[in-house]
Amino acid sequence: MRFASVRTGDGVRIGVVDAGAGTVTVLPADAGTLDDVVRGGAPALEAVAARVASGDVRPLAEADLAAPLARFNRDVLCTGWNYWDHFEESKGKREGQEPEGRPLHPTFFTKGPQAVVGPYDDIAFDPELSAKWDYEAEVAIVIGKDGRSIPEDRAMEHVFGFALANDVSQRDLQRAHGGQWLKGKSIDGSMPFGPWLTTPDDVADPYGIQLSCELNGQVLQDASTAQVAFRFERIIAELSRGMTLRAGDVILTGTPAGIGNAREPQIFLGEGDVVVTAGSGLGQLRNTVRTADLTSYVTSDVASRV
């Protein structure tokens, strides 16, 4: 199944997507939210499935989709350098952050959940904050079952679904803060996520997803998940070793070659750019880069995403 979060006049509701028919069935408000379903396990899935027949069927093209999840347990969990072609393309361009050879284990970092925006929302852009806004198309995994020290051969039992994300990064900020990536990955309103969550039974082959990123009509990234350096099961197993993963956690699984920072000449995002992130069987994100003032002080009325 494919589950979306649909903005309506009376709040965000669960939507069940039929991509082939181009429709989304919007469930009543008392069905809860997609965050509830992800955390509710098999009983929650069964309850949603039982209510689809009585839902409100709408054209998918007219639905206002939010990010699938709005309630986060923690930061978004991320995997770096998980396509070797991407690792190789950036050699000599990491500005003092060059590792010694290829990593033997997945490289992990996090990004703040305030970065998350919906699949068709604007990407916040502030040239006063950074001069190097880069795109990174990624497949996202959403955990649906708590677990610690999960064996690789049981990792997929803990996956609720797959989605797309664009790990928009500020390369100058990424280099400027002691060699860690948190700051250059966590800018508010900069990570499109969605368009929905596709459950594993509707993903024919997690390693047959064709992942791409298009900027203003030009394809700049195009790769298969078969090219990952560390398979999704390995990522889940190593990330969870001694560290509990919880239902609702989001894991990004890395980006392939073609990033703007590694190109000659370099390509960075700017006002009005249209970024399309696509994954076969997972849908697509379509986002416009729009200038926003991110350097002004904002009071505590900004809601927490955690």
- In this prediction, residue 132 carries a pLDDT of 97
pLDDT at residue 55 above 80? yes
pLDDT at residue 305 above 70? no
Distance between CA atoms of residues 174 and 44, nearest Å:
40
pLDDT at residue 95 above 70? no
Q: What is the mean pLDDT of the chain?
A: 95
- In this prediction, residue 298 carries a pLDDT of 84
Distance between CA atoms of residues 117 and 120, nearest Å:
8
Q: Would you call 224 exposed, middle or buried from its count of C-beta atoms within 10 A (0-12, 13-18, 19+)?
A: middle
- The average pLDDT across 83-90 equals 89
- The average pLDDT across 17-36 equals 97
pLDDT in tens, 286-304: 999 999 999 999 876 555 5
Distance between CA atoms of residues 202 and 20, nearest Å:
12
- The average pLDDT across 224-252 equals 98
Domain 76-291 class, CATH top level: alpha beta
Model confidence at 99, in pLDDT bands (50, 70, 90)? confident
Distance between CA atoms of residues 73 and 176, nearest Å:
28
- DSSP code, position 199: P
Q: What are phi and psi of 53, to 5 degrees?
A: -60, -25
Model confidence at 156, in pLDDT bands (50, 70, 90)? very high
Model confidence at 133, in pLDDT bands (50, 70, 90)? very high
pLDDT at residue 90 above 80? no
| CA 6 vs CA 3, 63, 200, 204: distances in Å | 10, 7, 21, 25
Model confidence at 178, in pLDDT bands (50, 70, 90)? confident
Distance between CA atoms of residues 167 and 254, nearest Å:
9
157: number of CA atoms within 13 Å, CB side?
9
- The average pLDDT across 278-293 equals 98
In the chain, the percentage of residues whose pLDDT exceeds 90 is: 89
Q: Where are the beta strands (DSSP E) in 112-175?
A: 116-117, 123-125, 133-134, 137-143, 159-166, 169-170
For the chain, the structural domain boundaries read 2-66, 76-291
- In this prediction, residue 300 carries a pLDDT of 61
pLDDT at residue 113 above 70? yes
Model confidence at 266, in pLDDT bands (50, 70, 90)? very high
Distance between CA atoms of residues 250 and 241, nearest Å:
16
Q: Is the dihedral of CA 23, 249, 41, 150 positive or negative?
A: positive
- The average pLDDT across 106-117 equals 97
- In this prediction, residue 121 carries a pLDDT of 98
- In this prediction, residue 303 carries a pLDDT of 55
Q: Give the chain's largest Cα–Cα span.
A: 58
Of 96-100, 180-184, 242-246, 301-305, the range with the lowest mean pLDDT is 301-305
Higher pLDDT, 132 or 174: 132
